[in-house]
Chain A
């Protein structure tokens, strides 16, 4: 709604409209309505900001020329120490903290967040590698990080930090600057390099690949050999083990998506939990066994969901609740 020219005359400020029974808002000044470009915030940087090198050089030359013209060397005026108003020239009127997050509750943590964000802003355009080719890295655990800083850090906020770290780590290793690597190294868990990653599986002497998987309360161990598509689950046919087609499909999903159903024989042992859980634990175990035979299938299997561990479990019941979250109905007294 545009400003009505007669609006100033209509209603004295503070009186109430008869129609809508509301106090009219004061119109903002016209200058406010004009579009103003938003000021770019200066990015935070840990490196001291030096004046531009080229301009410094030019300035130095010019000043040298003037100096040569009027080479009059004069001493500095003596300090007036007696005067009570005298202030050293480089001292500001009030002390400005070095870090912008000095006044926050956890300044070091905030500094880290700002640092990582500025790095990400700086290197956002650099090419990245795909998720499965990212160099493996284990970041500091929350407890370690807390004790290192000595500040309270919530796990959700540290999660944000981990997200930033993961994104920065995804930048192509050859294009990562030393500055970036130094910062990332500060967040790496010491001594964790090369421990976390399990060694790739091997076929045993009989040509069997082994994989294990878990889902809900079930666990499964799969032995996979080259064959013609026969499947045994706990010594029974897959039909007897999983009467529902959906369960059979999810158990053999890894072979189905890769079109390897008639290339391997599956021998699975599964226990615990229910039928769906057992079928889906076989999914994971079969996927892991299959990449031992054919490591190149890993990206396909990951997309098909045969590589990802599902850590969800049944939520526990809480005291005062009927189930995990269900509360008793409200009864009027």
Chain B
């Protein structure tokens, strides 16, 4: 008799009794007792009467993701962290001070900003969110040849003030994206704070033109804010073409005054007023309390600002400190703003009172740029967010040509194309701005400055390569000839 089973199956037959298999459970971190069986509803498998038997997607509860609070994402985007405790501490890092800011041997070295200076710079909004401060233990800046030269200018103006021959330096810092224009302004502000100057900073020129804050018309002669009736009258006058309308920006001016009062508190408190002023109930005693009036009463801010500027820049018997005016993103001030007039026509940026004021100071129009106590007016163009303004581009070329010694009418002096309309307001700024020059920022020097920067990155632990002649040369070339913003990118991320 033969069994009806094949060899393979016979071989696999197990004669001994196998232990019953224990049902094993896969590993899980969830509590198996999470829901008690009694509380659980027993779902009937039967469909309810007259209900749809198909799977209806729209009946399912819609999952709405929880959105972050209003302003939270912007706050995160604009957050500025200026130190990182995870970064290595760089040994032997010097602080920036009055002596080494003009020392040529410091070129290519990083100099740290001390605590007191940091508070001032924070208050004046000198830091930008894109500047990688959060990669390093202590915020420090690279001393370039241009920085030392700027330091000299600051000392020079300070010395001129002491010797009763005030000097005003006017300069536009231009350069492609990432060349360190804003950082040059930051260095200028640090040096000015160290020398007890009054620092006035406009951190972002675009804020004044994008129509995100309040504005009100005022007449050009009085430059006072008008009542609604007067506004209507002046508006009709303007439509006849008799006079140009000027608009004040009270909120932005109040913010400007707040930055000035907070960051220059110690200096301003020491300076009593040359004249007596009364703003409503306020009777300020010194420059600080004057600025605070404008902060507290936004409607008075423009008048307070005018008074403060007058006090700071007019000749007086008492000693007043020199002033540093730093403006970033000047390109946005050379074209139409996003504000609209009563006729719903775009307002030119030069019709906005704060912009008009700073542009007149920078280009020394109508004698507005004469600083009786000396000072520096610095403006930087923007590289990453530059609007296309042909008139300003032409003006920059003309200024550049003038810096090279050419005069209007010379061969090679850039002129507007004859059959194109160019914004004459902008081109007219050339006259009177004799002292203004353009400083073109380029990449770092390879052997000293770029090397110094990369060594600092390496010592902070963010640049994980040997800093040799070869690596420096390589990074210098890859960063488009030592453009500092691009060099800093090698330190801002880990490349495996």
Contact = CB atoms under 8 A, between A and B. Distances in A.
Contact of A10 (B7, B470, B479, B483): B7
A256 B6 contact: no
Nearest to A249: B478
Nearest to A239: B480
Interface stretch (A79-87, A93-101, A224-232, A307-315): A224-232
A259 B470 contact: yes
A24 B7 contact: yes
A7 B128 CA distance: 87
B473 interface: yes
B479 A239 contact: yes
Interface stretch (A12-20, A126-134, A206-214): A12-20
B15 interface: no
Interface in A1-48: 1, 4, 7, 9-12, 15-20, 22, 24
A10 B473 contact: no
A85 B489 CA distance: 98
B230 interface: no
Contact of A19 (B9, B178, B446, B476): B9
A19 B9 CA distance: 6
A130 B8 CA distance: 55
* A interface, over-half SS: loop
B428 interface: no
Contacts, number: 97
Nearest to A263: B473
B390 interface: no
Nearest to B178: A239
Contact of A4 (B7, B470, B480, B489): B7
Contacts of A22: 6
Interface in B1-38: 2-11
Contact of A237 (B2, B5, B481): B481
A155 B375 CA distance: 81
B474 interface: yes
A24 B481 contact: no
B8 A11 contact: no
Max chain B Cβ within 10 angstroms of own Cβ: one of A238, A249, A252: A238
B478 A7 contact: no
A240 interface: yes
A286 to B, nearest CB: 12
B477 to A, nearest CB: 4
Given A10-B2, A15-B4, A237-B480, A261 B9 contact: no
Interface string B454-496: 0000000000000001100110111111010010010000000
How large, as a class, is the contact surface on chain A? 20 to 34
A256 B473 CA distance: 10
A112 interface: no
A262 B5 contact: no
A172 interface: no
A21 to B, nearest CB: 9
B371 to A, nearest CB: 37
A10 B486 CA distance: 82
Contacts of B473: 229, 261-262
A248 interface: yes
Interface in A239-258: 239-240, 245, 248-249, 252, 255-256
B176 interface: yes
Nearest to A3: B7
A1 to B, nearest CB: 6
Contacts of B2: 9-12, 15
Contacts of B474: 256, 259, 261-262
Given A10-B7, A24-B6, 8 more contacts: A4-B11, A11-B3, A18-B9, A228-B446, A239-B486, A261-B474, A261-B476, A262-B469
10 contacts: A11-B4, A11-B7, A16-B4, A17-B6, A22-B6, A231-B480, A237-B480, A239-B480, A248-B480, A252-B477
**10 closest A-B pairs by CB:** A239-B480, A262-B473, A17-B6, A19-B9, A229-B477, A24-B6, A18-B4, A237-B480, A261-B474, A7-B7
